[in-house]
Amino acid sequence: MKLNIHIPEPTKLIPDIRTGEGLLQWLSTVDHKLIGIMYLCTALLFFVLGFGEALMMRIQLMRPLNNFLSPEAYNQLFTTHGTNMIFLVLTPMLLGFATYSLPLMIGANEMAFPRLNAFSYWIFLLGGLILYASFFAGGMPNVGWFSYAPLSERFFSSTKGVDYWVISLLLMGIGSVGAALNFVVTTLTMRTKGILMNQLPLFVWMVFVNSFLILAAFPVLNAALFMIFIDRQFDAHFFVSATGGSPVMWQHLFWGFGHPEVYILALPAFGMVSEVIPVFSRKPIFGYEFIAASSVAIMLLSFGVWAHHMFAVGLGTTFNAFFAASSMLIAVPTGIKIFNWIATMWGGSVQLKTAMLFALALVVNFTIGGLSGVGFSLVPVDWRLTDTYFVVAHIHYVLIGGSLTGGFAAAYYWFPKITGRMLSEKIGKWHFWLYFIGFNCTFFVFHFLGLLGMPRRVYTYPDLPYLGTLNLFSTISACVFGISFILFFWNIFYSLRHGRIAGNNPWNAWTLEWLTSSPPQQKNFEKVPLVRSRRPLWDMLHPEDPDWKRENKNKIKKTGYE
């Protein structure tokens, strides 16, 4: 058997996966663009699985005391749905866009560590496949994506599901840490001549800040995962109270990772809309420094808010008050971003392209999710809302209304760059409105369900007033929501063949990725001009009114560039 296969450099910009050579080129690539595309395609693939799981749960909950799913099946589904959507859809979606765009946006030809980049992707994919392999090994994990001990201990959960879950998350965590390290080093060392740290495009800035979040949060999770694994496999008792362990410690460790994780999923999406909104308002971002600094504030504060997931644990008034205060504080930098995005539109010349519509949907829906989040920081209110459907509404407003909606804005914005063709605006508008209406109708009623007393993670519920009606409404809306995704897939499929040729800079945007061809050559840039401001392409097109004159006046002095 030949161990050495020579794989020629791809001649096509996007190798054809149907030919043997093309397949090998995909498998062996270290090109950040191809790896970015693989991340995005993997996210789409797992999204179909995760959405299917969600639909099955919605069918089960469509009426009280329904028998569509057994409790065991339902519990496996909601666990897998949560893990799938967070680790296998949103994370690769955000990493994918970052892997693709970040080097382009700073005028670099590659990531700092191309092989590590490929390793991060493949180990992430392995983790994802191992999660689903549990299905063939006696059942998927059934203790929730948060896997609270002691329920996740072997005594209460004797199937192999939790072990597969642990290994899967460990591998994906290693992948994420690798990717984060890569982003940090790339941003610090690979910027083209002239870009200062306060001139980074905001998407790059947020991915950079976010990478520090990943580097600090994932090791906490990985440590906790090892501990539960040792408990389960070697009969240790980190989280077993009868023998001196502490189940509450698991909660501290898990949320010590889990809450930063929410911002890990949100910050890159904030970065995406911070690119999209200025371009389609034809104005620079309003308050660049404040948006950038508020991201750092969010990063730091997010490590001090984890226990707002634990207000019902009974940890005492002083303890709760501290975490109430920190959780309220973190709303302020988030609010600053919302106001700045709106101020960017005001006084601009707003083009309501599909990408812009999604960005605006993020502004509105994330505000709803953010506000309900403030509700949880009011401890007495949290005692009513926590672990009810109100929280289910909140998390979906944050993760779909925030991250996924930002992802769609990015998809419509960068698809022309990635493929060389435009996504259809007509299908896009249909996609957007069905998505926006379907999403809000599905999830807004969850607020009411929570207030009416419906706990979360229940496979069924008694026939109490309004519960059946609201759940049925949500299930029907979920189908509308589902149709919007079919339109998105159709749009991709259609536009790859018949979409308008994009050209280098279809949106008349200002960051460096739009300088090169669409899709970019294997070597991203032949030559990058000296960058002197946050919007290099604006400066090129408007030599009479360049940004660098408008921006920091001291800069010219400091750097000596003129």
Partner 1 sequence: MGRILNSIHRFFSEMSRSSSPNEDYINKLFLWFLILAAIIMIIVIVAVLIGAIHYRSSRHQGEPEQITGIKWLEITWTIIPLLILLIFFYFTVRFMKDIDQPVDKNQQADIIITARQWWWEMQYSKYNFTTANELHIPVHQKLLMRVESADVIHDWWVPELGRKIDAIPGTSNYSWLEASDTGEYKGACSEYCGTQHAGMRILVISETKNEFDQWVQDQQKVPSPPVDSVAQRGMRLFSERTCAGCHSISGTVAVSHIGPDLTHLASRKTLISGVLTNTPKNLYLWLQNPQKLKEGSHMPNFILSNNELEALVKYLEELK
Residues 533-552, interacting with partner 1 (CB under 8 A): 542, 545, 547, 550-551
* Residue showing tokens 């009426």: 63
Is residue 231 part of the contact set for partner 1 (CB under 8 A)? no
Binding residue (CB under 8 A) for partner 1 from 368, 445, 515, 531? 368
Binding residue (CB under 8 A) for partner 1 from 154, 160, 252, 384? 384
CA distance 289 to 333: 12
* Residue showing tokens 């005001």: 346
Is residue 494 part of the contact set for partner 1 (CB under 8 A)? no
Region 435-454 residues binding partner 1, contact defined as CB under 8 A: 448, 451-453
> Is the Cβ–Cβ distance between 305 and 379 less than 8 Å?
no
Is residue 246 part of the contact set for partner 1 (CB under 8 A)? yes
Tell me the per-residue interface mask from 23 to 62 with partner 1, x by CB under 8 A, - otherwise.
----------------------------------------
Is residue 380 part of the contact set for partner 1 (CB under 8 A)? yes
Is residue 388 part of the contact set for partner 1 (CB under 8 A)? yes
Is residue 288 part of the contact set for partner 1 (CB under 8 A)? yes
Retrieve residue 168's tokens.
């899967």
Is residue 367 part of the contact set for partner 1 (CB under 8 A)? yes
Determine the Cα angle at 287 with ends 283 and 293, to 5°: 140
557's CB contacts (< 8 A; 6+ apart) are none
Q: HEC profile for 85-105? A: HHHHHHHHHHHHHHHHHHHHH
In the complex, what is the shortest distance from the CB of residue 388 to partner 1, in angstroms, rounded to a whole number?
7
In the complex, what is the shortest distance from the CB of residue 327 to partner 1, in angstroms, rounded to a whole number?
10
Q: HEC profile for 251-268? A: HHHHHHHHHHHHHHHHHH
Is residue 317 part of the contact set for partner 1 (CB under 8 A)? yes
In the complex, what is the shortest distance from the CB of residue 301 to partner 1, in angstroms, rounded to a whole number?
13
Q: Is the bond preceding residue 103 a cis peptide, omega within 30 degrees? A: no
In the complex, what is the shortest distance from the CB of residue 176 to partner 1, in angstroms, rounded to a whole number?
26
In the complex, what is the shortest distance from the CB of residue 462 to partner 1, in angstroms, rounded to a whole number?
7
> Is the Cβ–Cβ distance between 385 and 456 less than 8 Å?
no
* Closer Cβ to partner 1, 339 or 490, answer by number: 339
Binding residue (CB under 8 A) for partner 1 from 198, 462, 489, 503? 462
Q: Rg for the chain (alpha carbons), in Å?
A: 24
| Coil/strand/helix, residue 501 | strand
Binding piece for partner 1, criterion CB under 8 A, among 11-19, 252-260, 385-393, 493-501: 385-393
In the complex, what is the shortest distance from the CB of residue 160 to partner 1, in angstroms, rounded to a whole number?
17
Binding residue (CB under 8 A) for partner 1 from 289, 463, 526, 544? 289
Is residue 456 part of the contact set for partner 1 (CB under 8 A)? yes
* Closer Cβ to partner 1, 28 or 241, answer by number: 241
> Is the Cβ–Cβ distance between 285 and 359 less than 8 Å?
no
* Closer Cβ to partner 1, 4 or 318, answer by number: 318
Binding residue (CB under 8 A) for partner 1 from 331, 480, 483, 492? 331
Is residue 321 part of the contact set for partner 1 (CB under 8 A)? yes
Region 118-147 residues binding partner 1, contact defined as CB under 8 A: 142-144
Size of the residue set binding partner 1 (CB under 8 A): 93
Q: Is the bond preceding residue 519 a cis peptide, omega within 30 degrees? A: yes
Which amino acid belongs to residue 540?
A: M
In the complex, what is the shortest distance from the CB of residue 120 to partner 1, in angstroms, rounded to a whole number?
32
Burial string for 479-511 (b: 16+ CB within 10 Å, else e) reads eebbebbebbeebbeebeeebeebeebbbebbb
Binding piece for partner 1, criterion CB under 8 A, among 43-51, 258-266, 338-346, 493-501: 338-346
Long-range contacts, stretch 342-349, CB < 8 angstroms, 24+ apart? 343/286, 343/287, 344/277, 344/278, 344/281, 344/283, 344/284, 344/285, 344/286, 345/277, 345/281, 347/283, 348/281, 348/282, 348/283, 349/281, 349/282, 349/283
* Closer Cβ to partner 1, 8 or 316, answer by number: 316
* Closer Cβ to partner 1, 295 or 372, answer by number: 372
CA distance 284 to 553: 17
Binding piece for partner 1, criterion CB under 8 A, among 175-183, 301-309, 344-352, 412-420: 344-352
Q: HEC profile for 38-84? A: HHHHHHHHHHHHHHHHHHHHHHHHCCCCCCCCCHHHHHHHHHHHHHH
Torsions phi, psi for 423 (to 5 deg): -75, 145
Binding residue (CB under 8 A) for partner 1 from 159, 340, 405, 442? 340
Binding residue (CB under 8 A) for partner 1 from 1, 3, 20, 349? 349
Binding piece for partner 1, criterion CB under 8 A, among 30-38, 49-57, 217-225, 242-250: 242-250
Is residue 290 part of the contact set for partner 1 (CB under 8 A)? yes
Is residue 313 part of the contact set for partner 1 (CB under 8 A)? yes
In the complex, what is the shortest distance from the CB of residue 493 to partner 1, in angstroms, rounded to a whole number?
29
In the complex, what is the shortest distance from the CB of residue 125 to partner 1, in angstroms, rounded to a whole number?
29
